[in-house]
Chain A
Amino acid sequence: MTAALRQVLQYPGIWRGNDVSRVELPSVPTGFPRLDAELPGSGWPRGALTEIAFEGEGIGELSLLAPALAALSRDEPWIVLVDPPHLPYAPALARAGVDLSRLVLVRGGQTLWAAETALRSGSCAAVLAWPGTVNGRELRKLQLAAEAGRSWGVYLLPASASPSTSPAALRLRLAPATHGGDPAAGEGEAVGVHIVKRRGGPAAPFALSLHRLR
């Protein structure tokens, strides 16, 4: 393959129709081998947008992101949380291994503007935003900002508010799993993961064991 073509394939908006796992993309390991295996680049896509739609609060959306956030927080840049629905609880995040001195909490109501600014700045490893509702134009701006700032952008919203189409490189839907381990121990607890969109085509839903933040 020529260098030029390889370069084109590095561009976050371009993917090949097959060979999911063999495409080399800048990514952040999710901390869940089962999930990494399903993702092109074997992790959360850097320089692109990820959608996480969840059915019901407390389903485990933060626990799903926590291992990657903990790993990213060991580096210098910021991790920015924009307008989360509740207060991110410092003791729980510290327990999950997130270096809180790298975390910035932004609560100003201008969710999309703040997320875009942070993504574009080039000084954020990850930007998590809870916009409530979004449209395609706004998401495209976020996707471009994530590319420009080489940052991992995530927007989280209830499954009912998830748009029918999105420029996000990766879209996940989290639903209660039908079976699980021993919930009282907080181990082996499962959440149903449905990859709605990824580079390289759809994947079958699967259950993922989470170590809940606690």
Chain B
Amino acid sequence: MLWAALHFPGFPVQVSERGVRTPGPLAIATAGARGEVIACNAEAALAGVRPGMALSAAWALAPALAVRPRDEAAEREALQGVALWAGQFTPTVSLASPCTVLAEIGGCLRLFGGVSRLLELIRDGLAGLGYRAAIAIAPAAEGAHLLARAGLTRPVTDHAALREALAPLSTALLDCPRETREALLNIGARSLGECLRLPRDSFARRFGRELLQRLDRALGTIPDPRPPFSPPVRHRSALALPAPAWDAEALLFAARRLALELAGFLAAREAGVTRLRLELLHEERKATALTLGFSLPCRDPERILALMRERFAVLELPARVEGIALAAEETAGLPRRSLSFLPDAEGAGESRAALVERLRARLGEEAVQGLVPVADARPELAWARVEPGVRGAAPVPGPRPAWLLAAPRMLAARDGRPWLDGPLDLLAGPERIESGWWDGRDVARDYFLARDSRGGRFWVFRERRERGGWYLHGVFS
């Protein structure tokens, strides 16, 4: 077993910041008049703000400090989002509250090309989601957890090295009650290594068997079963925008976070989305909902974003957007592909589908079509609109023009000859088409190939029923 612990320092701030591009100094504080800083971002820390500080003191240091109340529900949801996303790497994922995700990676190292390559993928991926993580790797889940919280991110792969790596860590990381911590300090045990040097029996008697087991689990000497994180069947994630947005670029920035999360969720299930619902949340107003359709199952975040970009381009927002939510409404199986950036046949098929989706997102479904010939003698019924890419075949009886007019256009006639800005010469014909008595759209016509004085070629017919007359029906081009 090899565990990766993804720990997010200052998680409340990270969650609250991931939807904006250029954050200023920001702190998350407890509610109430005498609020206390729980976490702050780098800019605030630079001004001297520290967790545990009273808000009044923090404002004195950084007058521009923005303060938001803590939203624990949003944090929980965000951590679950990370766990869902991590499912694309390994099926064994577990949450270690309040801000760490544990993932067993021993079984998938080979697939992703080794520890350092996998670490790189995870780190880049998390950056795309808008998080900074300390990632520790150790052969025991609790060990990795402690290392990550201490910020020790050098991968540890065997038990002896793990014991060595854990030894200097402070006992403060054990989260034990204050009295226990003080008792440990009183006997000179400031670090985990010093705890481990104490006789086990008396350690258990004085500080509780539980704490001893915790240390053993960290070293990996006893089993450490973890409740597996079980992903929901449907995916919906939301993100509040700290600064309400009007413009598409700000929306796309936040949407990218959610699209990447969704992609991880889909990859874990070997699925792609075929219908997505994007909700733009407004204050005191119904959300603006957009449905995005995909002709092929898709989990490529760039394709999802390209579609959103088209929709945003033609969207008129009724109000400012306070938050966005993305839900996978319909998914379908889409097998995992090797992590390659080289174009392959499957990728080409996906990009062909992406073009059709993009054009449709802007112009509407009806505006983008494929064509097939249909076996019907009547020219206006000898073709049909289909989904692009659909193949059809039908025998073609005779010469046919490249352009067909939407409806036959009546032509003037002079001396019994058709007239189109001048006399038309009949070059070939007639081809008699008489058909369709069964469905009421019957025709009885004699078709001719005609030429005008400038060399244009036309497909004209003489109506054979009582009203008679000449009509233009197509252009040979």
Contacts and interface: CB of A to CB of B under 8 A. Distances in A.
Interface of A: 55-63, 66, 76-78, 84-96, 99-110, 113-114, 117-118, 121-124, 176-177, 183-184, 186, 191, 212-214
B400 interface: yes
Interface stretch (B2-10, B187-195, B232-240, B450-458): B450-458
A87 B403 contact: yes
Contacts of B428: 184
A214 B373 CA distance: 14
Contacts of A95: 396, 400
Interface string B399-439: 11111111000000000000000000001100000000000
A90 B374 CA distance: 9
Contact of A88 (B358, B393, B403, B455): B403
Interface of B: 345, 348-349, 351-352, 354-356, 358-359, 362-364, 367-374, 379, 382-385, 388-394, 396, 399-406, 427-428, 449, 451-452, 454-458, 474-477
A110 B364 CA distance: 11
Given A94-B373, A101-B389, 6 more contacts: A59-B454, A78-B388, A87-B406, A89-B379, A101-B392, A184-B449
Given A55-B454, A60-B477, A95-B396, A100 B363 contact: no
A99 B367 CA distance: 20
Query: Which 10 residue pairs across A and B have the least CB separation, nearest first?
Result: A108-B363, A58-B456, A176-B455, A86-B403, A214-B399, A90-B383, A108-B367, A101-B391, A62-B477, A92-B400
A177 B455 CA distance: 8
A114 B475 CA distance: 25
Contacts of B476: 58, 60, 63, 212-214
17 contacts: A55-B454, A60-B477, A88-B371, A89-B379, A90-B371, A90-B372, A91-B396, A92-B400, A96-B402, A100-B392, A103-B370, A106-B367, A108-B359, A118-B359, A121-B354, A191-B455, A214-B399
Given A58-B458, A60-B477, A93 B402 contact: yes
Given A95-B396, A123-B352, A191-B455, A213 B402 contact: yes
B370 A91 contact: no
Interface centre among B389, B474, B477 (most CB of A within 10 A): B477
Contacts of A123: 348, 351-352, 354-355
A159 B348 CA distance: 37
Nearest to B314: A110
Contact of B359 (A109, A114, A176): A114
A118 B363 CA distance: 13
Contacts of A122: 351
Given A62-B477, A177-B455, A101 B396 contact: no
A99 B402 CA distance: 14
B8 to A, nearest CB: 37
Given A58-B475, A184-B427, A104 B370 contact: yes
Contacts of A114: 359, 362-363
Nearest to B363: A108
A117 B345 CA distance: 21
Given A108-B363, A212-B457, A91 B373 contact: yes
Contact of B369 (A58, A105, A121): A105
Contacts of B362: 108, 110, 113-114
Given A63-B477, A117-B358, A76 B363 contact: no
Contacts of B427: 183-184
A76 B352 contact: yes
Nearest to A106: B368
Identify which of A76, A84, A91, A177 gathers the most chain B CB atoms within 10 Å of its CB.
Answer: A91
A206 to B, nearest CB: 16
Contacts of A87: 383, 403-406
Nearest to B475: A58
Contacts of A77: 348, 352
B126 to A, nearest CB: 29
A105 B399 CA distance: 22
A92 B391 contact: no
Nearest to A180: B455
Contact of A100 (B348, B368, B372): B372
B475 A107 contact: no
Nearest to A99: B391
Contacts of A121: 351, 354-355, 358
Contacts of B399: 186, 214
B355 A124 contact: yes
Contacts of A66: 402
Contact of A76 (B348, B384, B457): B348
Given A57-B477, A105-B368, A213-B476, A86 B396 contact: no
A163 B369 CA distance: 30
Nearest to B345: A76
A86 B404 contact: yes
Q: Which of B351, B364, B396 has the most CB of A within 10 A?
A: B396
B401 A214 contact: yes
Contact of A101 (B348, B370, B394, B404): B370
A89 B399 CA distance: 12
